[in-house]
Structure 1
């Protein structure tokens, strides 16, 4: 049986986005582990004894994109919050229909991400952050 941790996984091919999200999450007391792409994240999941509480995933990445990652992660039950610079309504509808917990656009509003995480993880009263 795989256990759920209180760590949030951040999967994005842009290092600056990974760093910014990790800082934002840390500022409200959430631990994050970052991954440069879907392949790295899936490799970790396949050998892990625990899974993250949630994954924040870039929609458009080289190799395995966010929607394919979502499909491959179905067995884990890990909720996914998508981030994208391209807000295509058809893709949004597909991601949400496949069970995404959120679909946010870049540039990211940090307060919206924190509220989405609160809802997704069932957390209340996370500290507010001014970080983007």
Structure 2
């Protein structure tokens, strides 16, 4: 009985945030990869057709493409998106959720809640 290890991508321009989230996700058995920009992630996604994360964690505010723009470009891909942000803004939250984000979590977030949120996103449950 084979179970697949969930694969989660973290896109955040803050390297320390990427490291912390990767460490947290790996501690519960997930495989992770991180990108410091939306452009870098989207380039990898488009250049490797077999590259398919189970969930994408996106920071809202990044140089270049912000998280909302990355989400817009992922529209129709079926990839669940969880937003994380240090700048909780009600309008951005509404925009992200109305565009299909699974969740919108302000930093710093509770580790247990974050893990539950990512698991729910991967399983397709609210």
Shift of residue 50 of structure 1? 2.7
**Would you say 1:15 and 2:35 are equivalent positions?**
no
- What's 1:73 paired with? 74
The equivalences for 1:88-103 within 5 A come to 88-103=89-104
Q: Please, which runs of 5 or more residues in structure 2 have no aligned partner?
A: none
TM value normalised by structure 1: 0.86
The match for 1:38 is 38
Unaligned runs of 5+ in 1: 124-132
Are 1:15 and 1:36, in contact at CA under 8 Å, matched by a contact in 2? yes
Deviation at 1:109, TM superposition (A): 1.4
- Work out whether 1:29 is the aligned partner of 2:29: yes
Partner of 2:33, secondary structure, is strand
| Aligned twin of 1:6 | 6
Contact 1:51 1:76 in 2 (8 A): no
Cα distance per residue 1:42-82 (max 9 Å; x no partner) = 01000122310000010000000000000001132101000
Deviation larger for 16-25 or 110-119 = 110-119
Instruction: Tell me by how many angstroms 1:26 deviates.
Output: 0.4
* Helix, strand or coil at the partner of 1:8: strand
> Which segment drifts farther, 106-115 or 11-20?
106-115
Cα offset, 1:108, TM superposition:
2.0
Query: What aligned pairs does 1:107-118 form with structure 2 within 5 A after superposition?
Result: 107-118=108-119
Number of paired residues? 119
TM-score, with structure 2 as normaliser: 0.90
Q: In structure 2, how many angstroms separate the alpha carbons of the residues matched to 1:16 and 1:54? A: 20
Alpha-carbon deviation of 1:117?
A: 1.2
